[in-house]
Amino acid sequence: MSEAKQPHFGEHLTIDGYGGSYEKLNDRDLILSCLSELPGKLGMHPLAEPVVYAAADNQIKDPGGWSGFVVIAESHISIHTFPKRRFVSIDAYTCKNGIDQSVIERYFQEAFSLEDMETNFIIRGKKYPQENLA
């Protein structure tokens, strides 16, 4: 049985996107739109309105950008953009099993015009009480 097919609590997809559009990665409204639209496309349920914050340059490796979050009944989605580096870091974590990773990857690739993506898929809660996973 593949790891993704074994009983588990949740699934966590991380995406690091490279070569994105400076304009799109610096567009607060686009980030807010992504956080508003994606949960519905995945059959997830927001618990609150998404929020997006300006993140200042920390004078080290982070030249500033935007950080946005939406809390969903199934967990959360977060987006951190670094427009000057044409980079974005995204987390989609859910207790809903069987997420279609390709839908999420394609969504963000198109939204930010990413040239390349590095993804990691993590199975969470492998030791969660099995009787509670049914």
Q: What range does the domain containing 77 cover?
A: 9-125
In this prediction the pTM is 0.90
Q: Could you give phi then psi for residue 36, rounded to 5 degrees?
A: -80, -40
* Residue 66: inside a domain: yes
Block means of pLDDT (10 residues each) for the chain, 134 residues, are 70 97 98 96 94 87 90 95 97 90 96 98 86 68
> CB neighbours of 69 closer than 8 A, spacing ≥ 6?
35, 50, 51, 76, 77, 78, 79
Catalytic residues: 75, 80, 95
* Residue 133: inside a domain: no
* Residue 81: inside a domain: yes
Instruction: Evaluate whether 81 touches 101 at the Cβ level (below 8 Å).
Output: no
Q: Which two tokens stand for residue 96?
A: 């809903």
Helix (H, G, I), strand (E, B) or coil at 114: coil
* Residue 64: inside a domain: yes
- Please tell me the total count of domains within the chain: 1
pLDDT of residue 1: 46
Instruction: Evaluate whether 111 touches 24 at the Cβ level (below 8 Å).
Output: yes
Q: Which two tokens stand for residue 92?
A: 């989609």
| DSSP strands (E only) in 1-134 | 10-18, 51-55, 65-72, 75-82, 87-94, 116-124
* Residue 63: inside a domain: yes
pLDDT of residue 3: 59
CATH code: domain of residue 27 = 3.60.90.10
